[in-house]
Structure 1
Amino acid sequence: MTAAPTGYQTGFAIRPDLVVEAAGAEDVRTAVTRAARDGLRVGVHATGHGLAGPVEGGVLIVTRAMDSVLVDPVRRTARIGAGATWGQVIEAAAPHGLAPLNGSSPGVGAVSYTLGGGLGVLAREFGYAADLVRSFDVVTGDGVPRHVTAEDEPELFWGLRGGGHRLGVVTGMETGLVPVARLYGGSLAFDGDGEAGAQVLRRYLEWTRTVPVTLTSSVGALVYPDIPQVPRELRGRYVISVRVAYTGSAAEGERLVAPLRGTGPAPADSLREMPYTDSHTIHSDPPFPHAYYGDGLMLSGIDPDRAARVLELTGRKAPMMTVVQLNHLGGALAAAPDPGNAVPYRDAGYLLRLLSPLDGTDVASVRALYEEVAAVLGPLVVGRSLNFSFGGGDRTQGFHGLRTRERLAGLVTRHDPASLFGGSYGISRDGR
């Protein structure tokens, strides 16, 4: 038995009965076949960012060695191995003037992120990462390797694009790339305390009603710790940052963000024209492993008063450090692709993300705070985001609507009759 892997999420123990370091699809097939024979559950580990909770027992397939990336610049596609990160795909595509629909962190596994939908830096212009997938290579619960396309296996293809990790072990995928080599982007940081923070949110919400679909943005809020690793101008401050990614010209980008600059003094301003390979600097997600719990709430909309109350609950008076991010949705995210897929809640206007470090903080306290936030939002919450729910593996409600859940449940019955992949964030046979 190989030692259990370490990954980005350190908050939950990983103690499987067997670890398989897969070098290719045949190793995955062998591992799934053995698990079926021995009646063991199967989990998959690429980078460990989206760990749903503790891993106890079963077979854990580690795909990090399967990290090949092959770009076809003529077809504008990339063939991506199960262990490849978005950073690897970005670097491979950039020499051809192309980009994937990656998320904000270059260290996240590209395949696993896409299975959950994949909300990216350019999402409002080009849609979810799952929308551009051309094919999957997957080993289903019967141990059969399958090449899944819209033509050959349309129902399984539908479910793998946004349905999560319940339908098999994906060993690779082919996805489309978009012709983006540079963008105008970065962040504007404002004082988040008191009325100043409420004013920034109010201005941001007004602003999102005016911007074109070629501009994707989010607003984040946190109390920065007073430590040397944090820039001096931000230490100990409650900061609200507006993050922007715009594929138009820098001059037009400056014109579009002008209303935000008028909100007040910005202690940090990184807005600039940049090569797409620098897109990770827009959010500057921490690159080091750490322990955390998180949830993502899909919202039909949000008003300034509720937004201000969320800041009040999660800011300086919060019982633990809480990172809040509000992503502006709409645009191409609201348009179902052809053929359709299992990505839910396309009519949502915003995504509210909550994340709390767990060092010295217990999960129960974090959940209590998140429930208070959800109560403030009330009927605006239409569901939860599979990609941004970290650690709550025993809470599976809300990831898909009823009809999608029922359709996914039918696929589970067909392709995983022994419930090998029925771990956290799975879809049960009855659609729950």
Structure 2
Amino acid sequence: MQFTADRLAGEPAAWHDVVSLGASIRGRTLHPGDEGFEQACSGWLLTVEHRPAAVVVAADADDVAAAVRFAAQAGRPVAVQSTGHGKSVPADGAVFIATGELRELSVDPRAGTARIGAGLRWDEVVAAAAEHGLAPLCGSSGQVGVMGFLTGGGLPLTGRTYGFAADRVRSLDIVTANGLLRTVSPLQEPDLFWAVRGGKSNFGVVVAAEIELLPLRTIYGGRLHYPVENREQATRVLRSYLAWAREQPEEMSSSVTLMRFPDAPQLPEELRGRSLVLVTLVHVGEEELGARLVEPLRALGPAQDTCGAMPYTRITEIHQDPKNPVGAHLRGALLREPDDEAVAELVSFIDPAKSGGPFPGIELRHLGGALDRPPGRAHAVSTQGAAFHLWLRMPAPPDQADAVRGAADEMLARLRRWDTGAMLPGFLFDHDSAPERVRRAYTEADHRRLTAVKATYDPNHLFRINHTIPPARHPADG
């Protein structure tokens, strides 16, 4: 890669060493205007745009270490991305490390573990593990990068049964702010190992992980669609689901989603201008028991019912998450048990009688069970006692972004009585990236510990293109 004097004019003196950076790595170093630059720093979520000073498409961990050392010397922040599902802060002026080519993947069937590179997506790991009758704890989308999911804690579709995905991480390989590659585990630098599982990219660039797999070949799961013509129908389905969920064993994980669609020609005819309540579920156990547990939901008369026994390899098909890049405003919250007043508020957001936007998708993921128990390997993720996770997704075309954000603010304000004030770190996006909001994703004690670990491993706050956890200030600093 050649860099002209014109392209580097006006940059800090240290930035001129970008030529030596390009010479020191096996992968590619890209600058604005280079072929492949835009593609390398794009991603699944289109509402956040990156304009980094340079992109390093890393071929291995040594490339990552070289890029981190260069950024520290040049006084530039570091941004890291695999798939771009978790974009939160524009990486303007940063050294942007793309980890998509770190594709190590091996399964040890005897140990029941997998070693995973940072460039992999969950569908790839699920398929590799299934060859040995094993399964990882993954979320609703097979397109999501494994490392962002694990370091955000990872709320899996089988969470009530098995807990957070972070519970199953045995070790991580991470490049810290001094450019050193470390392997961290419960026995090796345990504070850093604890912090990265929940603290995401605040402590370094994770290049590989070793995780535990489960001896799980099949599940009972699927979706039940309930088109609703009025508020009364929507209220009946939502109330019934909430009552049903309270009675379920830990082997049943589920969610309910309320949606309203515009009358748009690009949508399937059966969805245009319609409102829908959708229940998704995963049961880990005998098929007969799963079918029996679902009977009360079937009695509500769904228009579509896909529930049944399936191989674990199909688990990421249940939610039918979009595979192509989207422009959406995303928000999360942790809620107390919704009562009848909360149901009325939620249903009002998808009132079929409304005309015009907004057109929200509001998912309530049932928590509890193993998610509330202390993990075997402690980490920084917790439901903080919440009953449900609220996940708000709203289409956000560029010319409507402000209006969509305002509508989301209003919706969450109306639900404030049931909001615990806490959030999950894996569901923090642009609106929730500031330090004062990030604090809500952790208990007070955990946040203090995170800032202390940050001060040890990244005192100069090199890793700040994320949901930011600043380093603790030394008492002498005032």
Q: After TM superposition, is the score higher than 0.5?
A: yes
8 Å contact from structure 1 (residues 76, 98) kept in 2: yes
8 Å contact from structure 2 (residues 429, 467) kept in 1: no
- List gaps (5 residues or longer) in structure 1: none
Q: 2:197 aligns with which of 149, 161, 164?
A: 161
Partner of 1:390: 429
Instruction: Say which is worse superposed, 299-308 or 416-425, in terms of deviation.
Output: 299-308
Q: 1:58 aligns with which of 70, 94, 101?
A: 94
1:86-105 Cα deviation digits (max 9, x unpaired): 11100100111111110000
| Stretches of 4+ aligned residues off by more than 6 angstroms | none
Q: CA deviation at 1:305?
A: 2.1
**Partner secondary structure for residue 326 of structure 1:** strand
| Cα distance in 2 between the residues matched to 1:421 and 1:199 | 47
Partner of 1:195: 232
Partner of 1:419: 461
Q: CA deviation at 1:246?
A: 0.7
CA RMSD of aligned residues (A): 1.8
8 Å contact from structure 1 (residues 104, 285) kept in 2: yes
Q: Provide closer, same or farther for how the CA distance between residues 106 and 315 of structure 1 changes in structure 2, counting only shifts above 3 A.
A: farther
Q: Provide closer, same or farther for how the CA distance between residues 131 and 378 of structure 1 changes in structure 2, counting only shifts above 3 A.
A: same
Q: Larger Rg: 1 or 2?
A: 2
Q: 2:257 aligns with which of 191, 195, 220?
A: 220
Q: Provide closer, same or farther for how the CA distance between residues 326 and 245 of structure 1 changes in structure 2, counting only shifts above 3 A.
A: same
Q: Provide closer, same or farther for how the CA distance between residues 164 and 315 of structure 1 changes in structure 2, counting only shifts above 3 A.
A: farther
Structure 2 residue 451 is the aligned partner of structure 1 residue 409: yes
Q: CA deviation at 1:212?
A: 0.8
Q: Provide closer, same or farther for how the CA distance between residues 360 and 22 of structure 1 changes in structure 2, counting only shifts above 3 A.
A: closer
Structure 2 residue 179 is the aligned partner of structure 1 residue 143: yes
1:202-229 Cα deviation digits (max 9, x unpaired): 0011011111111110011212345566
| Cα distance in 2 between the residues matched to 1:219 and 1:38 | 48
**Partner secondary structure for residue 188 of structure 1:** strand
Q: How many residues align?
A: 430
Amino acid aligned to 2:386:
A
Q: Provide closer, same or farther for how the CA distance between residues 86 and 405 of structure 1 changes in structure 2, counting only shifts above 3 A.
A: same
**Partner secondary structure for residue 103 of structure 1:** coil
Higher helix share: 2
Normalised to the residue count of structure 2, the TM-score between the two structures is: 0.86
Q: Which structure 2 residues correspond to residues 369-380 of structure 1 after superposition, within 5 A?
A: 369-380=407-418
**Partner secondary structure for residue 234 of structure 1:** coil
Partner of 2:24: none
Normalised to the residue count of structure 1, the TM-score between the two structures is: 0.95
8 Å contact from structure 1 (residues 191, 240) kept in 2: yes
Q: 2:286 aligns with which of 249, 256, 262?
A: 249
| Percent pairwise identity | 38
Q: Which structure 2 residues correspond to residues 86-105 of structure 1 after superposition, within 5 A?
A: 86-105=122-141
8 Å contact from structure 2 (residues 434, 468) kept in 1: no
Q: CA deviation at 1:330?
A: 0.4
1:75-115 Cα deviation digits (max 9, x unpaired): 11111101110111001001111111100000000111110
Partner of 1:174: 210
8 Å contact from structure 2 (residues 44, 83) kept in 1: yes
Q: CA deviation at 1:150?
A: 0.3
Partner of 2:108: 72
| Cα distance in 1 between the residues matched to 2:304 and 2:337 | 28
Q: CA deviation at 1:346?
A: 4.1
